[in-house]
Structure 1
Amino acid sequence: MESWPARDENDALPAEEVARNLEAAHRWMGEEGLDLLVVTSADRYLNEYTPLEDNHRYLLSGFTGSTALLLVRAKERARLYVDGRYHLQADGEVDAALVDVVKVAFGTSIQQALMDDLKTGGVAGCEGDRMSQSFRQSLEKAAASLRVFAGGELRAALGKEPLIQTKPLRPIPEALDEGPRARLARTFKDWPHGEDALLYLGALDDIAWLTGARGYHFPYQSSFAAEALARPDGLCVRVDAPVLAAGPPPAEAVEWTAENLDALLTRDAWNRVKTFVYDPAHTTAAVVEKVKSLRPDWKRVTMTSPALSAKAKKSPVELEHMVDIHKRSSRVVARCVRWAREQVGAGARVSELEFHDQANRFYEEAGAVDLSFHTIAAIGSDSAIIHFSDPSSDVVAEPGDLMLLDSGALYEAGYATDITRTFLAGGGTLEASRKQKEIYTLVLKGLLAAQNAVFPEGTPGAFLDALARRPLFEAGWNYAHGTGHGVGIHVHEPGVGISPTTTLPMKANQVSSIEPGIYVEGFGGVRLENIVAFEALPGREGFLRCRPLVLVGFDPHLIDWERLDGREMAWLREYEGLCAELGTGLGAAEYL
């Protein structure tokens, strides 16, 4: 087990420590002549889940959420930019005397909101080793003057040491491994740059997928700290030296090295290279600067990583495994919902913290190696906090409360699961309120509409987003997040997306979440999330449908049956039948 029973990650950073860190940052900014400093949530691997001890945004704001941006200002309070998933969480974690929380409206990115503030002028600085090249280029356009620091200067000013990884790597089960050569062939199938080009890979799940290795170096991720240089015939992967102490996993066409990037880039083996290809969204600005300095003769070309789209289309053996692990996680979630309903119904004291810990124990008992993200276990009004992260021993479920469980795990091959269910505490003969039934049923209608859609292959994900939102729109509701994300080695896999603005095409064998929701501050929230695989629609060439991988029934106490039309009842009947076969129904089948 990697980190059971749970990580102590909800440590609120004392305001005094945040103040000291901000003072150190201001002192360094003064020495460098900076008026503004842009701080991201990332580490040098552009991680989504950066360990808090290595997260400079956390150290300078106290905010623990995985996604936010910080603008440190020399003469005014710092500004923390968060989207709708984190509005309530940021208010609860950030000291308003030190940091202003900027609640960015849905439809505007936190990047754009920060850049609008940069236009006020002054000399701005940023950490090039913790920022993508694409964001760096956007900042250059927005700032009056931008200086890029890539040598760990802010880290040193904060008195922190570099984070060095030590965990050894492990291969995925042989039965699931088609081999690096086959995955390289898929990646370079339509390679447009010739044999004298070198591809830089910075996305950790790309590297884990290509090598067939796992490391669990970071919270909630089976991937490992690395960067790689790839060509159609092989892959050179750089990791921290202690990682190789026990020897790397055997992998054809893969060279493992602990050389630093400077030495790696200047190898004689690359002297015939003419073109350096990189994805600016998954390559740090620091890497681009190194290439400019060390290989000025190389032509630098940008493109979306070909590994991203190859990885998003799961192989038959990957899909079979994802079907299996989502069945295992479905059993865990159904078990936890039943446990909570029975405990509360029997008059037992069930706190948010106990609810959270019990779910994690059930995952461990099901053979999970780690969690795929921090388990969200919310009761009552806390269920309205989209990314609730602070389960309390003092918040106790009462019969009739809304309870929300959003959870997932990583199993032996290092692929992620993700499931959300909302249910009524106590169950039994309890009657939900009219408002509880209204918001639950509208969310259910949105999920059913998207999950049962038929569409031509290549349709943008925005199509499913619109279907999921339509029932909510018609009743005057909306939600401040996208409807779905890709799922794979990382629980949030790029290359697949369901949102109002995405143009990403939906293709056969991709895996995505569908998770509409309604959140009412002070009352509670409902989110229902299934993971689906896009598959060919029998009898209609070129069309796709969704195959649900998550099979957990819905709570009949919260369904307003009169709001469901005949087609929705048929969809629900079919889905609940699948859940009944797996033993994961929650009682709705009795009403169908």
Structure 2
Amino acid sequence: MPDHHDRLVALRRQLVQDGLDGFVVPLTDEHMSEYVGAYAQRLGWLTGFQGSAGTAVVLPEDAAIFTDGRYTLQVREQASADDWRFVDVPQASVAGWLADHAADGARIGYDPWLHTRAWLTEARAALAEKGAVLVPVDTNPVDAVWPDRPAPSDARLTVHGDQVAGANSAAKRAGIADWLAEKRADAVVLSALDSIAWALNVRGGDVDHTPVALAYAIVGSDGTTDLFVAPEKIDDAVRQHLGNAVRIHDGSAFAGALAGYAGKRVVADPERAVSAIFDALEAGGATVVPLRDPVVLQKALKNAAEVAGHRAASARDGAALTRFLRWVETECGKGGQTELSAAARLLAFRQDSGMLLDLSFPSISATGAHGAIPHYHVTEDSNAPILPGQLYLIDSGGQYADGTTDVTRVMPIGALAKEQSAEMRDRFTRVLKGHIAIATAVFPDGTTGGQIDAFARRPLWEAGLDFAHGTGHGIGSYLAVHEGPQRIAKPDYPGAAALEPLRAGMMLSNEPGYYKAGEYGIRIENLLLIEERVVAGGDPDRVMLGFETLTFAPIERDLIEPALLDPDELSWLDAYHASVIAVIGPLLQGDDAAWLARKCARIG
């Protein structure tokens, strides 16, 4: 077992050697990625916290971990309260906490390859009140005390075929060039890994469960592109695919190349490009234009091939999940199964298709109290037996060449006690009502995710309940399972994603939930496609939008309280289950097909 206390002590010693009075450790990489390679898991190595979002601050006599509502319980289980304060965001901020706890005149270190300029501006302003300053480091002090830090992945790039991409790379780069002309800019830096993968129609294996490669790209106003990547990651097939218009350079040359744009207008995304990129461009004499990476929106608007691919991927994934849910119902109540064994069984069902390339994220296989941790990550240490009387939550997804999936279902294990069942059925049905409210929403073009988030929460609010995460996130096309810029979340969700206008062609998850700490968790998640809708009698000049449900797997009928559903909600549920049978029924046989028919029988 690693001693995380000793690691904290070692880091503090290193800070003294470096002349620093503190250091900020975010969970990200040089590309501001959500999921990162093992080499960049500094927060987990230092603290023991295994969530996918968070930041630590280390001071000489104090230290804190900052996490959002998804990880409130998890961080307290995995990191020691003897070493760390636990701070909830967005109620508090790293900058504000530093201003309150750093010593007067303190020198707080940061890695300029791991922070945005916006964060630096906020933190500098907060520290200035105490005469404290932020100090950029050339070498990350965590790396200096991490003796067995993994090397970055050396996985090779692969070609993502035009038939599944729906457009070739030349056309995509031409679109970026047109955008640059509109903005009167000479080039754009693509630092987000999924933007590079999408623009060049390549995929990689450098981040677990996200098929991207560690690289940078600079696209010029004529569409030609400089790709910075470790040369051993490029084979002849990829080189031929990229063509002469994409110049390949060693990844180590990227920082120096930024100095070659003197007198040019270069776009860098203030949300996705780190401070070091802005610094290098400005030092080289470029005028930095702080605009969102143009690929972000282009990538979010799925084309016909991507939508068709996702439908195919969802069907095979739904069939695998349905086989798994039947297995849970028939086997887990007998005893002998655990969170890890169940996750392994679902993986095997997905692999049976012969088309699974990876999971889209580590499966959240959570029974009982672990289900109340929204982003629970089962490990050998936390692995719990699945026992009768519990609710079992499985949130999982697959990576297929034609699509990325993400779905959550909840199953009761064996018989539930009467009192327990009544509460669980009430909560489950309220979550279902919120899910249906989003699935059936109709709204004007340009509506934001923040405007419709309350639809999912109202049935819970009416009972004095809520959930502490967003209702929906975007999803990639054989790319990141969490993709921007769109999101369904409360308007004050960190960043601007909840304020992004929703547009036809975007995909989103629909995943309201309820979590009773120490007892159980409930979440129902499907993926949705935004499409145009015609509303009878509506304003003919107003474009209206709605959702098409893309995910097909039964919603557990034994947890539904029909009396809480109104006639329209019952009709939606029956119609949804009829669609489940139509879409995945042909992919199932024997007992699996019969079980699905029973689970999808009419309730209304």
Report the TM-score when normalising by structure 2: 0.88
Tell me how far 1:359 sits from its aligned partner.
1.1
CA distance in 2, matches of 1:400, 1:503: 41
Shift in alpha-carbon separation, 1:99–1:579, aligned structure 2, 3 A? same
What SS does structure 1 have at the residue aligned with 2:404? coil
Give the match for residue 55 of structure 2: 69
**Structure 2 residue corresponding to 1:359, chosen from 346, 359, 371:** 346
What SS does structure 2 have at the residue aligned with 1:308? helix
Matches within 5 A, 1:400-439: 400-413=389-402, 415-426=403-414, 433-439=421-427
1:108 aligns with 2:91: yes
CA distance in 1, matches of 2:189, 2:176: 13
What SS does structure 2 have at the residue aligned with 1:433? helix
1:33 aligns with 2:34: no
Cα deviation digits, residues 93-121 of structure 1 (max 9, x gap): 112222222234xx536556645546764
1:95 aligns with 2:80: yes
CA distance in 2, matches of 1:376, 1:464: 26
Is the contact between residue 94 and residue 101 of structure 1 (CA under 8 Å) also seen in structure 2? no
Deviates more, 1:223-232 or 1:513-522: 223-232
**Structure 1 residue corresponding to 2:64, chosen from 79, 84, 100:** 79
CA distance in 2, matches of 1:429, 1:87: 28
**Structure 2 residue corresponding to 1:398, chosen from 387, 404, 410:** 387
1:258 aligns with 2:242: no
Deviates more, 1:113-122 or 1:331-340: 113-122
Give the match for residue 272 of structure 2: 282
Give the match for residue 511 of structure 2: 515
Give the match for residue 45 of structure 2: 59
CA distance in 2, matches of 1:557, 1:157: 52
**Structure 2 residue corresponding to 1:492, chosen from 461, 466, 482:** 482
Tell me how far 1:190 sits from its aligned partner.
4.1
What SS does structure 1 have at the residue aligned with 2:485? strand
**Structure 2 residue corresponding to 1:528, chosen from 524, 527, 534:** 524
What SS does structure 1 have at the residue aligned with 2:530? strand
What SS does structure 1 have at the residue aligned with 2:571? helix
Is the contact between residue 553 and residue 585 of structure 1 (CA under 8 Å) also seen in structure 2? no
What SS does structure 1 have at the residue aligned with 2:503? coil
CA distance in 2, matches of 1:401, 1:159: 42
Q: Which residue identity does 2:424 align to in structure 1?
A: Q
1:387 aligns with 2:379: no
Cα deviation digits, residues 222-245 of structure 1 (max 9, x gap): 111111101242221111222125
Cα deviation digits, residues 42-90 of structure 1 (max 9, x gap): 12222212234432212221111110110001122x2111111111111
What SS does structure 1 have at the residue aligned with 2:427? helix
Cα deviation digits, residues 349-377 of structure 1 (max 9, x gap): 22211111111122222221011111011
Q: Which residue identity does 1:84 align to in structure 2?
A: G
Is the contact between residue 479 and residue 516 of structure 1 (CA under 8 Å) also seen in structure 2? yes
Tell me how far 1:181 sits from its aligned partner.
2.1
What SS does structure 2 have at the residue aligned with 1:485? strand
Matches within 5 A, 1:225-236: 225-232=214-221, 233-236=223-226
Cα deviation digits, residues 163-186 of structure 1 (max 9, x gap): 333211111133123111222244
Is the contact between residue 37 and residue 152 of structure 2 (CA under 8 Å) also seen in structure 1? no
CA distance in 1, matches of 2:37, 2:391: 31
Give the match for residue 450 of structure 1: 438
**Structure 2 residue corresponding to 1:42, chosen from 12, 23, 28:** 28
Is the contact between residue 81 and residue 113 of structure 1 (CA under 8 Å) also seen in structure 2? no
Give the match for residue 547 of structure 1: 548
Give the match for residue 475 of structure 1: 463
CA distance in 1, matches of 2:74, 2:20: 30
Is the contact between residue 185 and residue 267 of structure 2 (CA under 8 Å) also seen in structure 1? no
CA distance in 2, matches of 1:251, 1:586: 51
CA distance in 1, matches of 2:506, 2:20: 45
What SS does structure 2 have at the residue aligned with 1:577? helix
Is the contact between residue 312 and residue 511 of structure 1 (CA under 8 Å) also seen in structure 2? yes
CA distance in 1, matches of 2:500, 2:356: 31
Is the contact between residue 37 and residue 206 of structure 2 (CA under 8 Å) also seen in structure 1? no
Give the match for residue 123 of structure 1: 107
Give the match for residue 5 of structure 1: none
Tell me how far 1:573 sits from its aligned partner.
1.6
Shift in alpha-carbon separation, 1:247–1:256, aligned structure 2, 3 A? farther
Shift in alpha-carbon separation, 1:184–1:431, aligned structure 2, 3 A? farther
Tell me how far 1:247 sits from its aligned partner.
6.0
Q: Which residue identity does 1:241 align to in structure 2?
A: P
Is the contact between residue 95 and residue 123 of structure 2 (CA under 8 Å) also seen in structure 1? no
CA distance in 2, matches of 1:442, 1:355: 27
Shift in alpha-carbon separation, 1:342–1:302, aligned structure 2, 3 A? same
Give the match for residue 571 of structure 1: 572
Q: Which residue identity does 2:564 align to in structure 1?
A: R
1:219 aligns with 2:212: no
Tell me how far 1:341 sits from its aligned partner.
0.3
Is the contact between residue 268 and residue 291 of structure 2 (CA under 8 Å) also seen in structure 1? yes
CA distance in 1, matches of 2:346, 2:598: 16
Is the contact between residue 556 and residue 587 of structure 1 (CA under 8 Å) also seen in structure 2? yes
Is the contact between residue 496 and residue 504 of structure 1 (CA under 8 Å) also seen in structure 2? yes
Q: Which residue identity does 2:565 align to in structure 1?
A: L
Is the contact between residue 338 and residue 386 of structure 2 (CA under 8 Å) also seen in structure 1? yes
CA distance in 1, matches of 2:35, 2:273: 17
Is the contact between residue 179 and residue 251 of structure 1 (CA under 8 Å) also seen in structure 2? no
CA distance in 2, matches of 1:518, 1:368: 30
Q: Which residue identity does 1:51 align to in structure 2?
A: G
Q: Which residue identity does 1:49 align to in structure 2?
A: Y
CA distance in 1, matches of 2:162, 2:406: 24
Shift in alpha-carbon separation, 1:175–1:340, aligned structure 2, 3 A? same
Shift in alpha-carbon separation, 1:458–1:356, aligned structure 2, 3 A? same
Give the match for residue 494 of structure 2: none
Tell me how far 1:574 sits from its aligned partner.
1.4
Shift in alpha-carbon separation, 1:113–1:548, aligned structure 2, 3 A? farther
Shift in alpha-carbon separation, 1:492–1:303, aligned structure 2, 3 A? same
Tell me how far 1:254 sits from its aligned partner.
2.5
1:589 aligns with 2:601: yes
Cα deviation digits, residues 133-163 of structure 1 (max 9, x gap): 3222222222231111244454234346683
Shift in alpha-carbon separation, 1:427–1:213, aligned structure 2, 3 A? farther
Tell me how far 1:24 sits from its aligned partner.
2.6
1:292 aligns with 2:309: no
Is the contact between residue 373 and residue 407 of structure 1 (CA under 8 Å) also seen in structure 2? yes
Shift in alpha-carbon separation, 1:258–1:118, aligned structure 2, 3 A? farther
Is the contact between residue 377 and residue 405 of structure 1 (CA under 8 Å) also seen in structure 2? yes
Question: CA RMSD for the aligned pairs?
Answer: 2.5
Is the contact between residue 227 and residue 249 of structure 2 (CA under 8 Å) also seen in structure 1? yes
CA distance in 1, matches of 2:269, 2:101: 25
Q: Which residue identity does 2:431 align to in structure 1?
A: V
Deviates more, 1:27-36 or 1:519-528: 27-36
CA distance in 2, matches of 1:263, 1:322: 40
Shift in alpha-carbon separation, 1:577–1:162, aligned structure 2, 3 A? closer
Deviates more, 1:284-293 or 1:221-230: 284-293
Q: Which residue identity does 1:349 align to in structure 2?
A: G
Q: How many residues align?
A: 568
Report the TM-score when normalising by structure 1: 0.90
Q: Which residue identity does 2:162 align to in structure 1?
A: E
Q: Which residue identity does 2:230 align to in structure 1?
A: D
Is the contact between residue 390 and residue 416 of structure 2 (CA under 8 Å) also seen in structure 1? no
CA distance in 1, matches of 2:149, 2:373: 34
Q: Which residue identity does 1:101 align to in structure 2?
A: F
Name stretches of at least 5 consecutive residues in structure 2 with no aligned partner. 492-497, 586-595
